[in-house]
C-alpha cells in the first residue's frame, strides 16, 4: 500500500459531495489503491493487480500510443486476458520506489465514484511519461478501478530542441536541447519571455504559424484522421548562407516550436517523396533546393545539366501543386505521411 502521500499532491485534491464524512472522502486511500495496482503491475503480480479492479462487463481500459495507435479493451475478461499475456511475455519485475513518480495529481470524489488524473513518469522503462485517468467505484466500502485511460506522451522523448509556447509565443517550457542551443542559434532568440525570429522580417511568419497552430488546436476537427499538423517557418540564412528553418508543431495538446533539427529535414523530405510520388532524382534535387542551392549550383553537385534540372523542377512543381521554389520549400518541410 502507499507508504507516504506527498502533501503537495493532497493539496491538489478536489472533493465533491459536501455531505460525505472524512472517512468516505478519502483521497489518500484512493491514491493508495492506484499505487498498489501500479506496484502489482511492476512486480508482475497478476492476482494482486486484479484485486484492485471492478471485474465486470462494464469495465474498460483505453490506451493511446504513438506507435500502436488507440486500443480499447471492453469488459473484464478482455482486460484480464491481455494483462496475463503481457505479464507472461515480459516477466521482469520492477520496483515502484525510485522508478515511478506522479505529477499533476488531481482527485475528485463524489458519492461512490472517484476519478483521478495524473501524469506518471517512469514505468517499465523508467523514462516514459503517460497521462492517466482512473475512475473508481466504492463497492462494499472498498475502492476499485472501473476504467483506466492511458495516453503516451512523446514530447519529452524527442531528440531535437523544443519550446512550448502560448498563443502569444510566450515561452511556457523548453527541453534541455533548446536550453543548450537557443543562445547560439542564428535563427531564433528569446526576448521578453517570447520566442522571436532573429530577423525582424521573418518574425511575422513565425507569429502567423503560431496563430494557425492555436486555431487548429482549438478547432473541432479530429487531428488523428489527418497527418500530424506542422508549419514550416523560414528564418533566413546563417553566416555561411545555409537556410534556417523552424517548425511549429502540435503534439500532446501543445503548440511547440522545433529548431536546429537535421533529422526533421530528412524525415520531411522522405515524407514528401512518399506523399507526392517524387522520383529518386527529383528527391535529390528537392533536398538541394531546401539547402538553398540554385539550379546552377545543384547542377555542379549532381553532375546534371541545368536544363535537365529545370525539367525535373517543373515536374516537382506539378506533383506538389506549387509554382515557386520558396513555396516548394515550405511544402516539403511541412509534409508528414498521413496516419495509417
314-339 pLDDT, tens digit each: 999 999 998 888 888 888 877 765 54
Domain count, the chain: 3
Task: Write out the residue range of the structural domain in which residue 139 sits.
Answer: 7-153
Please tell me the total number of residues recorded for the chain in this structure.
340
219 and 282: one domain?
no
Residue 1 located in a structural domain:
no
Residue 2 located in a structural domain:
no
Detail the DSSP E strand segments found in the chain. Answer: 14-15, 60-65, 69-74, 101-110, 113-121, 129-139, 142-153, 162-165, 171-174, 188-191, 194-197, 230-237, 243-251, 254-259
79 and 203: one domain?
no
Residue 226 located in a structural domain:
yes
For residue 69, how many other CB atoms are within 10 A of its CB? Answer: 11
Taking 90 as the threshold, does the pLDDT of residue 197 lie above it?
yes
Give the model confidence (pLDDT) of 16-48 as tens digits: 444 444 445 689 999 999 999 999 999 999 999
Distance CA 277, CA 316 (A): 9
The predicted structure's pLDDT at residue 259: 87
233 and 113: one domain?
no
Distance CA 134, CA 114 (A): 8
34 and 144: one domain?
yes
Paired sense of beta strands 101-110 and 14-15, if any: parallel
Q: Global pTM?
A: 0.53
The predicted structure's pLDDT at residue 335: 76
C-alpha cell of residue 138: 466504492
Distance CA 187, CA 261 (A): 12
Residue 148: left (phi > 0), alpha (psi -120 to 50), or beta? Answer: beta
The CATH number assigned to the domain holding 288 equals: 1.10.10.10
302 and 246: one domain?
no
Q: Which of 153, 173, 196 is the last residue of a domain?
A: 153
Q: What's the whole-number average pLDDT of the chain? A: 83
- CB contact set of 331 (below 8 Å; sequence gap of 6+): 272, 320, 321, 322
Q: Which of 124, 153, 182 is the last residue of a domain?
A: 153
Alpha helices (H) along 106-187: 176-181
Assess contact for 332 and 269: CB atoms under 8 A: yes
142 and 163: one domain?
no
Taking 80 as the threshold, does the pLDDT of residue 305 lie above it?
yes
- Mean pLDDT over 201-207 rounds to 94
Please work out, in degrees rounded to the nearest 5, the angle formed at the alpha carbon of residue 38 by the alpha carbons of 34 and 43: 145
17 and 89: one domain?
yes
Amino acid at each position: 500500500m502507499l507508504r507516504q502521500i506527498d502533501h503537495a499532491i493532497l493539496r491538489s485534491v478536489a472533493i465533491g459531495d459536501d455531505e460525505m464524512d472524512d472517512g468516505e472522502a478519502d483521497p489518500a486511500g484512493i491514491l493508495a489503491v492506484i499505487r498498489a495496482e501500479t506496484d502489482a503491475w511492476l512486480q508482475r503480480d497478476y492476482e494482486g493487480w486484479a484485486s484492485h479492479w471492478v471485474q465486470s462487463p462494464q469495465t474498460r481500459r483505453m490506451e493511446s500510443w504513438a506507435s500502436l495507435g488507440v486500443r480499447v479493451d471492453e469488459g473484464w475478461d478482455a482486460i484480464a486476458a491481455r494483462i496475463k499475456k503481457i505479464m507472461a511475455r515480459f516477466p521482469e519485475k520492477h520496483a515502484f520506489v525510485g522508478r515511478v513518480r506522479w505529477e499533476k495529481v488531481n482527485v475528485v470524489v463524489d458519492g461512490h465514484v472517484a476519478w483521478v488524473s495524473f501524469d506518471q513518469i517512469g514505468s517499465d522503462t523508467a523514462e516514459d511519461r503517460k497521462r492517466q485517468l482512473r475512475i473508481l467505484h466504492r463497492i462494499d466500502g472498498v475502492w476499485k478501478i472501473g476504467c483506466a485511460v492511458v495516453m503516451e506522451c512523446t514530447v519529452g522523448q524527442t531528440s531535437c530542441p523544443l519550446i512550448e509556447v502560448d498563443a502569444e509565443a510566450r515561452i511556457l517550457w523548453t527541453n534541455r536541447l533548446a536550453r543548450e542551443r537557443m543562445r547560439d542559434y542564428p535563427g531564433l532568440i528569446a526576448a521578453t519571455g517570447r520566442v522571436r525570429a532573429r530577423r525582424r522580417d521573418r518574425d511575422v511568419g513565425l507569429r502567423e504559424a503560431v496563430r494557425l497552430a492555436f486555431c487548429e488546436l482549438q478547432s473541432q476537427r479530429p487531428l488523428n484522421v489527418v497527418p500530424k499538423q506542422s508549419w514550416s517557418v523560414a528564418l533566413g540564412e546563417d553566416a555561411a548562407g545555409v537556410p534556417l528553418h523552424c517548425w511549429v508543431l502540435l503534439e500532446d495538446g501543445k503548440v511547440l516550436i522545433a529548431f536546429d533539427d537535421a533529422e526533421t529535414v530528412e524525415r520531411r523530405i522522405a515524407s514528401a517523396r512518399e506523399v507526392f510520388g517524387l522520383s529518386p532524382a527529383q528527391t535529390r534535387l528537392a533536398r538541394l533546393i531546401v539547402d538553398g542551392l540554385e539550379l546552377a549550383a545543384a547542377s555542379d553537385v549532381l553532375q546534371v545539366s541545368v536544363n535537365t534540372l529545370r525539367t525535373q523542377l517543373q515536374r516537382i512543381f506539378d506533383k506538389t501543386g506549387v509554382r515557386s521554389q520558396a513555396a516548394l520549400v515550405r511544402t516539403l518541410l511541412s509534409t508528414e505521411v498521413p496516419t495509417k
